[in-house]
Amino acid sequence: MDNERFENTIADMKIYARENHVPIMEDEGISQLTALLIEQQPAAILEIGSAIGFSALKMAKALPDALIDTIERDEVRYSKAREYIQEAGGQEQIRVFQADALELDLSLLNRSYDAIFIDAAKGQYERFFEKYEVLLNSGGIVYCDNMHMHGMSSVPLTEIPRRKRTMIRNLKKFKETMMEHAQYETKLLDIGDGIMICKKR
């Protein structure tokens, strides 16, 4: 991807995200994620939760030889993601699927992955993991963003707004499951809003 074209697109995306309240990764979080991916050197990456394509483009720029598939449920965000990816020149590297990730037919993806990045509905992380980890190659890594949920995951449930309690309870349960998972080596990094790294043994 042409550097100037890419940077201009990223700048536009940040403005759009701010004005339209679209959650995209903070600079610290995406920098750390791309650094981890550069160290890993995956050939194929699956992202669950495209939003407007910000992190997919950042990953594609950091790993110019990697193929990236990304799934987005929301029709408006899916359309913006495709638009921005085209604008940045990343369409040869990135495929965007519009679907509820929990309902997508896995055969449509027609490939396996060295890395899976989960950044969608926080209360569904365990279900996303259970569905998609079958596509992860041996030695592959699952990256999960927002594990701290702005500090909410480390306080008693009684102190969390009632409407968010189920989500936080599910997130905590998923973290505990992965920390004890016999087939995965898991660690939680205190960067950005918390990134959990789960390496398949």
Q: For residues 68 and 47, what is the distance between their CA atoms, to the nearest angstrom?
A: 7
26 sits in the region (left: phi over 0; alpha: psi -120 to 50; else beta) called beta
43, 68 Cβ separation under 8 angstroms = no
pLDDT at 158 over 70: no
Q: Tell me: the pLDDT tens digits for 70-92?
A: 999 999 999 999 999 999 999 99
Q: For residues 162 and 182, what is the distance between their CA atoms, to the nearest angstrom?
A: 33
Out of 41-55, 150-164, 187-201, the most confident range is 41-55
Count of helix runs (H) and strand runs (E) in the chain? 6, 7
Q: Position of tokens 């936080």?
A: 168
Q: What is the pLDDT of residue 153?
A: 56
pLDDT at 99 over 80: yes
Q: What is the pLDDT of residue 5?
A: 96
40, 65 Cβ separation under 8 angstroms = no
Global pTM reads 0.92
Over range 91-120, report the average pLDDT: 97
